[in-house]
Amino acid sequence: MTLNDFIERNEGCVLYPYQDHLGYWTIGIGTCIDKEKGGITKEEAIWLFRNRLDKMIVDLERTKPVVKKLSETRRIVLFDMVYQLGVSGLMGFRGMWAALEAGHYTLAAIEMLDSLWAQQTPVRAKRNARIMQTGEME
């Protein structure tokens, strides 16, 4: 048995935040994320972010091949949206996807703004819609 296996067997592996027997918020294989105990490091946050984003990008490109055909700036908009909404959430933007398939970026931007997402995060949505429409990063 390896060290990692031994510790995982003793700690367990829980894929959601929970309070341990002392009341500290913990996740994964005994990783304390409690604010009182210092949370996680910046490096851990970056690793978690990159790991999740990379997986979402692969899933999105597999689900919607049109993504690979877009300019880098428009891809960045979709990757930002998928990170916020998840692949299944982004699939709900049917009008936007139809417009992207047809190469109508102004219509895609309009469809982005005609959503609950745009109501909930209006600054982010307007910025992303402008970039989608123009193809230029702000």
Within 13 Å of residue 15, how many CA atoms lie on the same side as its CB? 0
| pLDDT attached to residue 37 | 85
Q: Indicate the pLDDT class of residue 137, thresholds 50, 70 and 90.
A: very high
What's the CATH number for 42-134?
1.10.530.40
State which amino acid sits at residue 79.
F
Q: What is the pLDDT of residues 79-133, one digit of tens each?
A: 999 999 999 999 999 999 999 999 999 999 999 999 999 999 999 999 999 999 9
| Domain segments of the chain as ranges | 3-37, 42-134
Mean pLDDT across the chain: 96
Q: What is the pLDDT of residues 39-91, one digit of tens each?
A: 999 999 999 999 999 999 999 999 999 999 999 999 999 999 999 999 999 99
Contacts of 133 (CB under 8 A, 6+ apart): 105, 106, 108, 109
* 112: Cβ contacts below 8 Å, ≥ 6 apart: 81, 93, 96, 118, 125, 128, 129, 132
